[in-house]
A and B are shown apart, each in its own frame.
Chain A
Amino acid sequence: MTNSTAAEKAKATRSALTRYRVMAWAAGIGLLLLCANMFLRYVLDVETVLDLVPRVHGFVYMGYLVTVFDLSFRMKWSLSKGVLVCLAGTVPFLSFVAEHRITRQTREALAAS
């Protein structure tokens, strides 16, 4: 393998990482909004504009899964790691922690290659 293809691969992985980070933040914020919506709707029993969140959050999370899927094959993660990162997107705040760790790990791996 030549250096140019390796560089291209690293570049593609970096963009995959960026896509993952964008979606991790979107899904993480969406999840917090979802929790806020559930609190307002079922505990305080008020209707707010946040009632729109549940309709779209599933699709945002779906997009998050696609980016995890993409990154996991580029970085050759184990299946359990991929699944855990997917599930991290369903736990409030944990998605931000996971995003931070995955970004650090991926950058280290890219720097080492």
Chain B
Amino acid sequence: MLLTPRWVGRFALLLVVVAVCAWLGSWLWGRAWGETVRAPLASVAAFTDVHQPGVSVDQAEVGRRVTLSGSFVPDQELLVVDRQQSDRLGVWVLTAFEVEGADGAVVPVVRGWVPSGESVPPPPKGRVAIAGWLEPTESDALRKRGRDPLPDGQVEIVSSAELLSLWQPPLYQGFVIQQQPQPESPLVGVSPPSLTVEQPVDWQNAAYGIQWWLFGLFAIFWFVRMVRVEREDLAAEPDVPDPGSLDTMEAPDEYGSSKG
């Protein structure tokens, strides 16, 4: 009865409107609970001046920008799984970095982020100088996978205790997030968690999000009402051979008479 091109078109329009409203609503709702980035500690320090092997990262140095020279150890590399970057899931590439002048001690360096399944480029060979942020070891509270074992070469968090059992000591505690991933590679720069602070809830965006969802619901409501009125009109028209109309023929013509 309502399968006319006009009604199919109206239904398509409804779907578009509802989809746009739902999308805008969830986008704004998500922004209301977003995070913001705190300014890093102003001064840059030499890594070896602010951190020693075997001790945890000084609280005052967390998030410090550091420079360090040395070389990556290509066969000591792990993927840190379940890492979000702009709402996409991927991995951090964590490679041991032998620090120059530290008697062979290595520090784990997050070289960057790649989407899940993407192949990881090897680290640059030989002596390099890198800059990054100094991060403390990640807390076990971040583990979400329970006791599910991960395949070899993958870890869930950057835990100094876990790395000690996987890599050759001596090892620095904590880790460094490389500020600029190597150029012309799929690696994406990671923003340091210690500099990302919870932003207070943005009620304005939350309200906007709710408003868009209400607009979507309203469009559905309008469409349903139109369908009902159309069906009543069809049922009320005696000319239309509609089998359903027999029951309603005697009902008062509620909508047609005002033109009269």
Residues of A within 8 A of B (CB): 1, 6, 9, 54-55, 58-59, 62, 65-66, 69, 73, 76, 79, 82, 109, 113
Say yes or no for B207: interface residue by CB 8 A criterion.
Answer: yes
Task: Point out the residues of chain B lying under 8 angstroms from A9, CB to CB.
Answer: 258
Task: Point out the residues of chain B lying under 8 angstroms from A109, CB to CB.
Answer: 258
In the complex, the answer to whether A55 meets B258 with C-beta atoms within 8 Å is no
Task: Point out the residues of chain B lying under 8 angstroms from A54, CB to CB.
Answer: 204, 208
Measured between alpha carbons, how far is A79 from B156 in the docked complex, in Å? 55
Say yes or no for B163: interface residue by CB 8 A criterion.
Answer: no
Task: Point out the residues of chain B lying under 8 angstroms from A76, CB to CB.
Answer: 255, 258-259
Q: Quick one: given A69-B222, A113-B258, are A55 and B214 in contact (CB under 8 Å)?
A: no
Q: Quick one: given A1-B252, A62-B211, are A69 and B225 in contact (CB under 8 Å)?
A: yes
Measured between alpha carbons, how far is A10 from B59 in the docked complex, in Å? 75
In which size bucket is the chain B interface? 20 to 34
Task: Point out the residues of chain B lying under 8 angstroms from A1, CB to CB.
Answer: 252-253, 257
Q: List 6 A-B contacts (CB under 8 A).
A: A1-B252, A59-B211, A62-B214, A62-B215, A65-B215, A73-B229
In the complex, the answer to whether B259 meets A113 with C-beta atoms within 8 Å is yes
Q: Residue on A with the closest CB to B204?
A: A55
Task: Point out the residues of chain A lying under 8 angstroms from B10, CB to CB.
Answer: 79
Q: Quick one: given A58-B207, A113-B260, are A65 and B255 in contact (CB under 8 Å)?
A: no
In the complex, the answer to whether B258 meets A58 with C-beta atoms within 8 Å is no
Task: Point out the residues of chain A lying under 8 angstroms from B229, CB to CB.
Answer: 73
Task: Point out the residues of chain A lying under 8 angstroms from B37, CB to CB.
Answer: none
In the complex, the answer to whether A58 meets B211 with C-beta atoms within 8 Å is yes
Say yes or no for B41: interface residue by CB 8 A criterion.
Answer: no
Q: Residue on A with the closest CB to B256?
A: A76
Say yes or no for B8: interface residue by CB 8 A criterion.
Answer: no
In the complex, the answer to whether A79 meets B226 with C-beta atoms within 8 Å is yes
Interface string of B12-53 (1 = CB under 8 A from A): 000000000000000000000000000000000000000000
Task: Point out the residues of chain A lying under 8 angstroms from B226, CB to CB.
Answer: 79
Say yes or no for B167: interface residue by CB 8 A criterion.
Answer: no
Measured between alpha carbons, how far is A79 from B219 in the docked complex, in Å? 12
How near does chain A come to B197, taking the closest CB pair, in angstroms?
23
How near does chain B come to A89, taking the closest CB pair, in angstroms?
12
Q: Quick one: given A69-B222, A79-B10, are A58 and B260 in contact (CB under 8 Å)?
A: no
Measured between alpha carbons, how far is A6 from B254 in the docked complex, in Å? 10
How near does chain B come to A106, taking the closest CB pair, in angstroms?
11
Measured between alpha carbons, how far is A66 from B222 in the docked complex, in Å? 9
In the complex, the answer to whether B218 meets A65 with C-beta atoms within 8 Å is yes
- Highest count of chain B CB atoms <10 Å: which of A58, A59, A82: A58
Task: Point out the residues of chain B lying under 8 angstroms from A6, CB to CB.
Answer: 257-258
Q: Quick one: given A1-B252, A9-B258, A76-B255, are A62 and B218 in contact (CB under 8 Å)?
A: yes
